Structure 1
Amino acid sequence: MEHGIVTFLTDYGIDGPALARAVEERGLDGLFLTEHTHIPTSRETPWPNGPDLPRHYSHTLDPFVALGAMAAVTERITLGTAVSLILQHNPIGLAKAVASVDHIAGGRVELGVGPGWNREEMANHGIDPRTRTARMLEHIAAMRAIWENDEAEFHGRFVDFDPIWSWPKPVRVPPVLIGGEGPTVLDRVLSHGDGWMPRRAGLDEIDALAARITELQTRAADAGRGHMLVTVFGVRPDAKELAAYADAGVDGVLFTLPAEGPDTVLPLLDEWAALVA
């Protein structure tokens, strides 16, 4: 099982390239970034984790610009998103951005995606929240068409374009890991993804997670698919919990690094690297 980091990379926290080098130097396996294009100042949508939205949500760097800088100073670690709100992007432009990062990184990009929770943020992009999941899936399909074809075209409900040329192509088509834990998420993973990216399950919930992973891999095999990646984000650095995830069939876990400066985050990286060594 691989061990990586997920963080809100901000304008007041550790520098992105410095963080990427620190993660690689400590022998950890990956660095994943969150995404919010902006946070509306007036918001009715409740934050799922409490009454007050933390400051770092409105201070995040663009993940793909940051990942490009990280790719230039690393050689080994996986670089990705956990998660990107791809429905808030033009899929032609985002396909080029992701392919460009993967080109710079030499094929080390994984794209975790989700529909998002902030309805006002979506509305500012002209998105009806009721269509967010369907739009996300269509954007995945359109981006994959661009990555996989020299002359790509796509005709859907939300995305429609005649044949186009768009280079660079990614070194490999980036694995798309679909976030969520709802009752139909495995359907989306199997129809449009290469893997699943659920949030942390407590020790008392890991047996249920293991059953869903078994279902996912069985259904994938029945459909003639290969192994589906399972990466859990927001995991606690606890040895017993990590062992349970490995036994459950999880391929990778992501520890949440606070959006702080090097004096805070580097000691945590040291601690976590020692835990999983």
Structure 2
Amino acid sequence: MKIGVTTFMTDEGIRPAPLAKALEERAFDSLFLHEHSHVAVKQETPFPGGGALPRVYYRTLDPFVALTAAAAVTDNLVLGTGVALLVQRDVIHTAKQVASLDLVSGGRVIFGVGTGWSREEMRNHGTDPRTRGKLLNEQLAAIKEIWSKDKAEFHGEHIGFDPIFSWPKPVQRPHPPIYIGGDGEAALARVAAHGDGWMPHSVGHPARVPPQLNRLAEVAGDKPVMVASVSARSELIAAYAEAGADHVALSLPTQPEPETLRMLDMFAALVSDYR
């Protein structure tokens, strides 16, 4: 089982380059970054984690800028979005950003995508929360066309463009792995139809791990699972390893560099048996 971290990269925490170097030095497999473009001043959608919206949501760096900085100082670290809120993004620009990151990193990208939860954030990007699932499905199909065709075009209900040229193409073929974020039935159906893997949140308790992973097999068959935001607890990590998870990303708090490096040393000791 591969082990990396997932985190909120902000202007108040460790910078991308030293974090990426520290991860690779400690033999971690990957770095996955969350994305939120902004927080609406009048935020009415309840935070899924309960309570007040954490400070990191207000200060998140653009994941592709941060991952490019990480790519420049590493050789083997997998670079991923966990997840990119694609329904709030321009599909042509995003296809180019992911392909460019895959090129400059030498083919080390995992593209994690999701629909998001903040209705206010979506609306500010012109996205109708009621149709975000259908929009995401079309975006994924359109991006694959851009990545795979010299002359790409797409005509759907929500996304449409006449033939275009767009380079670079990704290094990875047929394209960087697309992992679908989310825990509900719609996300699982999207994995089956459009994804190369599933990126659920950690369930938090070892006894709930086998039922969680069994749900994927029932819907999408034998596709890889990368579990995001896993608490750094030995019994939970062991449960995911035993249940057959391909990849877990430990939840790394957003802190300044000295505190982060100490936390990574603790993580490395915790997962030494899985190397």
TM-score, normalised with respect to structure 1: 0.94
The aligned residue for residue 69 of structure 1 is 69
The aligned residue for residue 178 of structure 1 is 180
- Is the Cα–Cα contact under 8 Å of residues 181 and 199 in structure 2 kept in the other structure? yes
- Aligned letter for 2:161? F
Mapped to 1, the partners of 2:108 and 2:102 lie a distance apart of: 6
Any stretches of 5+ residues in structure 2 without a counterpart?
none
Equivalenced residue count is 269
- Is the Cα–Cα contact under 8 Å of residues 4 and 249 in structure 2 kept in the other structure? yes
The aligned residue for residue 206 of structure 2 is 203
The aligned residue for residue 34 of structure 2 is 34
Mapped to 1, the partners of 2:244 and 2:227 lie a distance apart of: 11
Q: CA deviation at 1:185?
A: 2.4
Q: Secondary structure at the match of 2:82?
A: strand
Q: CA deviation at 1:136?
A: 1.1
- Is the Cα–Cα contact under 8 Å of residues 232 and 251 in structure 2 kept in the other structure? no
Mapped to 1, the partners of 2:118 and 2:213 lie a distance apart of: 29
Matched, 1:163 2:167: no
Matches within 5 A, 1:125-164: 125-164=125-164
- Aligned letter for 2:184? G
Q: CA deviation at 1:133?
A: 1.0
Q: CA deviation at 1:215?
A: 2.2
Q: CA deviation at 1:138?
A: 1.1
Mapped to 1, the partners of 2:190 and 2:108 lie a distance apart of: 23
Q: Secondary structure at the match of 1:245?
A: helix
Tell me the alpha carbon deviations over residues 135-164 of structure 1, each in whole angstroms, 9 at most, x when there is no partner.
Answer: 111111111111111111111111111111
Q: Secondary structure at the match of 2:251?
A: strand
Regions of 4+ moved over 3 Å: none
Any stretches of 5+ residues in structure 1 without a counterpart?
221-226
The aligned residue for residue 90 of structure 2 is 90
Q: CA deviation at 1:210?
A: 3.2
TM-score, normalised with respect to structure 2: 0.95
Q: Secondary structure at the match of 1:51?
A: coil
Matched, 1:191 2:186: no
- Is the Cα–Cα contact under 8 Å of residues 188 and 216 in structure 2 kept in the other structure? no
Matches within 5 A, 1:230-245: 230-245=225-240
Q: Secondary structure at the match of 1:135?
A: helix
The aligned residue for residue 18 of structure 2 is 18
Mapped to 2, the partners of 1:69 and 1:171 lie a distance apart of: 18
Q: CA RMSD in A?
A: 1.1
Q: CA deviation at 1:30?
A: 0.2
- Is the Cα–Cα contact under 8 Å of residues 232 and 250 in structure 1 kept in the other structure? yes
The aligned residue for residue 7 of structure 1 is 7
The aligned residue for residue 224 of structure 1 is none
